[in-house]
Chains A and B, each alone.
Chain A
Amino acid sequence: MRGIFVIIVSITIVALCGPTARTKAAGNEAREIVVGSKKFTENVILGEIVTQIARSEGLSASHRRQLGGTRVLWGGLVNGDIDIYPDYTGTIQREILARYEIETEEQLRARLAEFGIRMGPPLGFNNTYAIGMKEELAEELGISKISDLRDHPDLKFGFTNEFMDREDGWRGLRTHYRLPQTFVRGLDHDLAYRGIDSESIHVLDLYSTDAEIRYYDLRALEDDLGYFPQYEAVLLYRADLIGRLPHLIDRLHDLAGRISEQKMIAMNAKAKIEGIDEGEIAAEFISGEFGIRTEYNAESFWQRLRKHTLDHLILVAISLSAAVVIAIPLGIAAVKSPMLEKPIMGIVGIIQTIPSLALLVFMIPLLGIGGPPAVTALFLYSLLPIVRNTYTGIRDIPSSIMESARALGLAPAARLHLIELPMASSMILAGIKTSAVINIGTATLGALIGAGGYGQPILTGIRLDNITMILEGAVPAALLALAVQGLFDFSERFIVPKGLRLS
Chain B
Amino acid sequence: MLLLDNVHKSFEHIAAVRSFSLPVEEGKTTILIGPSGCGKSTVLRLIIGLIPPDSGTIELDGEAVAPDRALMMRRKMGYVIQEGGLFPHLTTYRNITLMATYLGWPAARIEARVAELSDLTQFPQHGLSRYPAQLSGGQRQRVSLMRALMLDPELLLMDEPLGALDPMIRVDVQGELKSIFRKLKKTVLMVTHDLGEAAYLGDTIVLMLEGEIVQKGPLKSLLETPADPFVTRFVQAQRVPIDATNGEGP
Contact = CB atoms under 8 A, between A and B. Distances in A.
Interface of A: 398, 400-401, 403-411, 414, 418-419, 422-423, 497-500, 502-503
Interface majority SS (helix, strand, loop, mixed), chain A: helix
Contacts of A419: 87
Of all A-B residue pairs in the complex, the 3 with the closest CB atoms, nearest first, are A404-B85, A497-B89, A499-B131
B147 interface: yes
Given A502-B134, A503-B133, A404 B86 contact: yes
B244 interface: no
Nearest to A406: B50
A498 B48 CA distance: 31
A499 B129 CA distance: 11
A200 to B, nearest CB: 56
A408 B146 CA distance: 12
Interface string B34-67: 0000000000000010100000000000000000
B81 A400 contact: yes
Interface string B60-89: 000000000001111101010111111111
Nearest to B83: A400
Given A497-B89, A497-B90, A403 B102 contact: no
Interface residues of B, number: 28
A433 B220 CA distance: 63
Nearest to A404: B85
27 contacts: A400-B81, A400-B85, A401-B86, A401-B87, A403-B50, A403-B81, A403-B85, A404-B87, A405-B87, A407-B48, A407-B50, A407-B79, A408-B79, A408-B147, A409-B72, A409-B75, A410-B71, A411-B71, A414-B102, A423-B89, A497-B89, A499-B88, A499-B91, A499-B131, A499-B133, A500-B89, A502-B88
Contact of B89 (A407, A409, A422): A422
Interface in B85-137: 85-91, 98-99, 102, 131-134
A503 B132 CA distance: 10
B79 A404 contact: yes
Contacts of B73: 409
Contacts of A411: 71
Nearest to B102: A414
Contacts of A408: 74-75, 79, 98-99, 147
Q: Which residue, B82, B83, B88, has most C-beta atoms of chain A within 10 A?
A: B88
A409 to B, nearest CB: 4
A497 B82 CA distance: 24
Contacts of A405: 87
Contact of B131 (A400, A401, A502): A502
B99 A409 contact: yes
A455 to B, nearest CB: 41
A414 B99 CA distance: 10
Contacts of B102: 410, 414, 418
A236 B85 CA distance: 70
A409 B50 contact: no
Contacts of A498: 89, 131
Contacts of B132: 499
A498 B82 CA distance: 24
Contacts of B48: 407
A400 B90 CA distance: 15
A406 B51 CA distance: 11
A195 B63 CA distance: 82
B58 to A, nearest CB: 15
Q: Which residue, A400, A498, A499, has most C-beta atoms of chain B within 10 A?
A: A499
A261 to B, nearest CB: 72
A418 B74 contact: no
Interface string B178-217: 0000000000000000000000000000000000000000
A418 B75 contact: no
Nearest to A407: B79
B74 A409 contact: yes
Contacts of A414: 102
Contacts of A407: 48, 50, 74, 77, 79, 85
B89 A499 contact: yes
Contacts of B88: 401, 423, 499-500, 502
B44 to A, nearest CB: 9
A342 to B, nearest CB: 22
Contacts of A499: 87-91, 131-133
A418 B98 contact: yes
A368 B81 CA distance: 59
A419 B88 CA distance: 9
A401 B81 CA distance: 10
Contacts of A406: 50, 74
